[in-house]
Amino acid sequence: MRQSTTQITIDTRRQGLVDITAPIRRWVDAQAMQSGLLTVLCRHTSASLLIQENAAPEVRTDIEAYFERIAPESSSYLHDDEGPDDMPAHLRAALTQVQLSIPVIDATLALGTWQGIYLFEHRRRPHGRSLALHLIGD
């Protein structure tokens, strides 16, 4: 049994879902484990992680619109240090999650056919988002 860890940075350009399946899969494949457990931690509180549909791009547009609707920009928040998109970002991160664990089975991530891993950027301006990756197995 062994472990691998790394940190990667994802550059986001705007609010919304960024497909990060490929870089994560590449790193997992490079560790050459037959069986194991991958954990990804988004080290921020205004961006989050989501496993979602990787085919129809309209799903992502609808998800983005939905979270804008249920956790809207508003003047009623106490916290707005970094602007009107600050507090909604924390709420959208709270409604999704900042960490995911995915089994590795038969030397590959056990994601379903239609599942991709997404970084969900909740701030309007571009950010460099740091992800911690941990893999244990053999």
The residues binding a second copy (CB under 8 A) are 1-3, 5, 7, 35-37, 39, 41, 43-45, 50-53, 56, 58-59, 61-63, 66, 70-71, 77-79, 81, 87, 90-91, 93-105, 110-115, 130, 132-134, 136-138
CB 121 within 8 A of CB 10: no
Question: Taking the complex as a whole, how short is the minimal distance between the CB of residue 130 and a second copy, in angstroms?
Answer: 7
Closest approach, Cβ 13 to a second copy, in A, equals: 20
Q: Residue 53 or residue 124: which is nearer to a second copy going by CB?
A: 53
Q: Residue 9 and residue 23: Cα distance in Å, rounded?
A: 10
CA distance 137 to 4: 9
Name the residue nearer to a second copy (CB basis): 30 or 105: 105
Quote the CA–CA distance of 104 and 37 in Å, as a whole number. 6
For residue 92, give the amino acid letter: R
